[in-house]
Amino acid sequence: MEKYTSAKRIAFPALLFFAFLAIVLIGLARAGVWEEETVEKPQAPQPVRAEADLPIRWENSLSAGTGKWLSQSLTPQDRKMLAEAFALKDGDVYSFLQGPKSWKARRPWSGSWCRFKVEGNPFGGFGCGLCCMANIYNTLSPYEVSPLDMYDYARAVSGYAPSGAVGAIGWQDMAASLELCGISCKLRRKPGSYKKFKKQIAKAKSAVVLVSSYEDDAYWQDTPGHYVNIWLYREEDGTVFLAEPGDPEKNRSRIPLRNVYDALKMTNEFQYLTVQGYAEGDNQWKADGIHIKWKRPKGWKKREQ
C-alpha cells in the first residue's frame, strides 16, 4: 500500500509537467514560433501581370513626350542642332507655276493645269491663289495635290464660283477651303507699321499675300493684283522665301519682306492670310497624288512630315 502511494505521488507531478508542456507547445504552434514554422516557406507563384496592367512611370518614359526627354537628355547645343535638322527649309517648299509659257518651256513646277479654262478664262490668268494654296497644303501635310485639284476642292466645299469674267478665288473662300484641309489660318489687314507686319510673318509658317504694282512697283511691275506665297522669314537679312506662281524668274528666290509690305493691295478687304500650322485630325480632304502631267523638279523629294 505504501509503495502504491509513493508511485502515485511520483506519477502525478510528472503528469502535470507533461500536460503543461503540451499546452505550451500548442500555444507556440498557434503563435507561429514552432520550429517548423520558422522555416521560410516558398511563396506561391504569383500571376504575371500583363504589361498593360503595370503602372506607367511617366517620368522615366519616352511616352512622356519627346520634348521633355530631349530637354533632359541633350545639351542646349544638341537641341539646337536637332531642331535645325528637322526645321523646314527653303528647299522643302512647293512652288507651283500657273502659266502656259512655263509649261511650254517645261519649267520645273509648271504643269498641264495651265490649259484648264472656265468659260474661256484660262487658269494661267486666275490660278495664282490656287497655286499658293496647293503649295501650303503640300509643304505642310503628308499629301501632294496639284493646283487644279485644289481648284476642284475649293469649288466643292466653299462659295468659290469662278466665271469667264472673274476666276480668282476670294479671301473668304481661300480660308474656308484651307481650314477644311487641316490648315489653320487667319485673314489680316495691312497693319500701320512694318514692324508689326514683320512680327506676324516671322511667327507664321507661311502666308499668302496680295500684291499690286499700283501700291509699289519696286519689285512687281504691271501687276494690278496678284497672289504670291511667302515662307521662312530670316531675321539676319530681313528676307522671305518667295513662291511666285506667275513668274518663273522670281520663283524660289529670297526677297526683302519690306517689298511685300509696301506692295500690299489696299483696295481689297484683306491683304494677306497667315498660316499657323497643319493638323492631320482636322484634314477632311486627305487627297493625295497628282494625276495630270507636270514638271517635277529633278531630284525633288517630298519632305517627310
In tens, the pLDDT along 215-236 reads 999 999 999 999 999 999 999 9
**Type of residue numbered 179:** E
Does position 147 have pLDDT exceeding 70, yes or no? yes
Q: Indicate the class that CATH gives domain 84-283.
A: alpha beta
Ordered by start, the domain boundaries in the chain are 84-283
Q: Determine the pLDDT at residue 247.
A: 97
Q: Determine the pLDDT at residue 87.
A: 85
Q: Please state which of the ranges 17-26, 173-182, 230-239, 272-281 shows the lowest mean pLDDT.
A: 17-26
Q: Determine the pLDDT at residue 57.
A: 39
pLDDT band for position 18 (cuts 50, 70, 90): low
In tens, the pLDDT along 252-264 reads 999 999 999 999 9
Q: Determine the pLDDT at residue 80.
A: 56
In tens, the pLDDT along 271-302 reads 999 999 999 999 999 999 999 999 999 988 87
Q: Determine the pLDDT at residue 253.
A: 98
Q: Determine the pLDDT at residue 171.
A: 98
- HEC assignment per residue over the chain: CHHHHHHHHHHHHHHHHHHHHHHHHHHHHHHCCCHHHHCCCCCCCCCCCCHHHCCCCHHHCHHHCHHHHHHHHCCHHHHHHHHHHHCCCHHHCCCCCCCHHHHHCCCCCCEHHHHCEECCEEHHHHCHHHHHHHHHHHHHCCCCCCHHHHHHHHHHHCCCCCCCCCCCCCHHHHHHHHHHEEEEEEEECCCCCHHHHHHHHHHCCEEEEEECCCCCCCCCCCCCCEEEEEEEEECCCCEEEEECCCCCCCCCEEEEHHHHHHHECCCCCCCEEEEEEEEEEEECCCCCCCCCCECCCCCCCCCCC
Rounded CA-CA distance 78/4 in Å is 103
pLDDT band for position 181 (cuts 50, 70, 90): very high
Q: Determine the pLDDT at residue 304.
A: 73
In tens, the pLDDT along 68-109 reads 555 567 777 666 555 555 689 999 999 999 999 999 999 999
Q: Determine the pLDDT at residue 305.
A: 65
Rounded CA-CA distance 39/46 in Å is 20
Does position 136 have pLDDT exceeding 60, yes or no? yes
Mean pLDDT of the chain: 83
Contacts of 208 (CB under 8 A, 6+ apart): 129, 132, 133, 136, 174, 227, 228, 229, 272, 273, 275
| Apex 235 CA angle, 229 and 241, nearest 5 | 25
Q: Who has greater pLDDT, 16 or 112?
A: 112
Q: Determine the pLDDT at residue 244.
A: 98
Q: Determine the pLDDT at residue 42.
A: 44
Q: Determine the pLDDT at residue 76.
A: 72
In degrees and rounded to multiples of 5, residue 188 shows phi and psi of -140, 155
Q: Please state which of the ranges 29-38, 132-141, 228-237, 257-266 shows the lowest mean pLDDT.
A: 29-38
Q: What percent of the chain has pLDDT over 90?
A: 68
